[in-house]
Amino acid sequence: MILIGTMNLTRTRDSGQFYCPGCRSNQEFRLRARRPFLTLYFIPVVPIGGAELFVVCSNCREKWDPTVLQVDPKGSEQVQRDQFCDEALKSAILVVLHDGFISETEIDALIRIGNHLLGQPIDREVLGEMCSIAEQNQIRASNYVTTVAKRWSPDQKREALQAMFLAATAEGTLDDSQIKLLTAMKQTLELDDRTYQAAIDEALQWEHV
């Protein structure tokens, strides 16, 4: 009885350092090649397809397309920073819209948060569009933050919390629903009591600068 089958053989073709999008830092990598072979008595004898190349990060073990080796780390970091700032500002907008209304004071606060706290300049027209989209989508702040915060670093989580707190306190006081929402953000952002309070204290200092 002749035993014929197939198997995939994987070999390392290259190694070095690259910018890992998952780790968001430089890490060691291995460029691997996977190719199917026809086997005879479990011995690979004839290749039956082209080699599939992929990059493996030695730190997080995630697999990436080889084009990841061509990514400019500085450019990638800026793209990720821009994405975070956009998400943090949207989170702050949703906190403000929690009561279904946005005042001129809150609009001014959101512009200031974008321009100074997050370092992402924004004008009233763009902010108006973002608020309009948020109202139409009717997404709750807690649901949105739960979704996007999964890719935030610990520092970004604290920064986003500060943006949400400053937006919520733009008019000087917090109502019960806002207090409840901000308190729930501690769990959503996976912050301990000390980190949460430190972030709020920093926001209060920033507010009075």
pLDDT in tens, 88-99: 999 999 999 888
Instruction: Say if residue 175's pLDDT is above 70.
Output: yes
Q: Are 67 and 121 contained in the same domain?
A: no
Q: Are 88 and 182 contained in the same domain?
A: yes
What is the pLDDT, as a whole number, of residue 155? 92
pLDDT in tens, 95-133: 998 887 888 999 999 999 998 888 888 888 888 888 888
Q: Are 169 and 100 contained in the same domain?
A: yes
Q: Domain boundary residue among 36, 51, 71?
A: 71
Instruction: Say if residue 209's pLDDT is above 60.
Output: no
Q: Are 52 and 106 contained in the same domain?
A: no
Q: Are 179 and 166 contained in the same domain?
A: yes
What is the pLDDT, as a whole number, of residue 100? 79
Q: Is the pTM of this model over 0.85?
A: no
Range of the domain at 90: 74-207
SS (H, E, C) the chain: CCCEEEEEEEEEEEEEEEEECCCCEEEEEEEEEEEEEEEECCEEEEECCCCEEEEEECCCCCEECHHHHHCCHHHHHHHHHHHHHHHHHHHHHHHHHHHCCCCHHHHHHHHHHHHHHCCCCCCHHHHHHHHHHHHHHCCCHHHHHHHHHHHCCHHHHHHHHHHHHHHHCCCCCCCHHHHHHHHHHHHHCCCCHHHHHHHHHHHHHHHCC
Q: Are 180 and 118 contained in the same domain?
A: yes
Q: Are 85 and 119 contained in the same domain?
A: yes
Domain count of the chain? 2
Instruction: Say if residue 33's pLDDT is above 50.
Output: yes
What is the pLDDT, as a whole number, of residue 49? 67
- On average, the pLDDT of the chain sits at 84
Q: Domain boundary residue among 44, 71, 98?
A: 71
pLDDT in tens, 140-156: 888 989 988 888 889 99
Q: Are 109 and 161 contained in the same domain?
A: yes
pLDDT in tens, 38-76: 777 667 666 776 678 889 999 888 888 888 888 776 666
Q: Are 108 and 156 contained in the same domain?
A: yes
